[in-house]
Amino acid sequence: MKKDIFKLKKKDRLTTFVHLADGVVNNAKHANSHIKSVGKAKKNKVSKKFNQEHAEKHSKETLDHAKKLVEHIKKYPSLDALEKELEGKSF
């Protein structure tokens, strides 16, 4: 199963890796922003609820992307193989 990853084009493998890593970072940032906004909402219950719900949504999406990223990485026969693909790449 691990070598099946190499049946994909290298570009597809790297695009998936970048997409998932980016999803982790962006959703974590968004969750953090909404968490901060909850504190700033003070007595505005509507804003507070909105930001709590969105913080939860982005937190779940962060976890979802992180799990998928781990599964993607596990498909490589070794971390050295992944590192070799990523070597010299700037995203």
Q: How far apart are CA 46 and CA 33, in angstroms?
A: 17
For the chain, percent of residues with pLDDT exceeding 90: 64
pTM, two decimals, is 0.82
How far apart are the C-alpha atoms of 55 and 29, rounded to whole Å? 10
Q: What is the pLDDT of residues 58-85, one digit of tens each?
A: 999 999 999 999 999 988 888 888 888 8
For residue 62, the surrounding DSSP H or E stretch is helix 45-74
Place of tokens 């993607």: 72
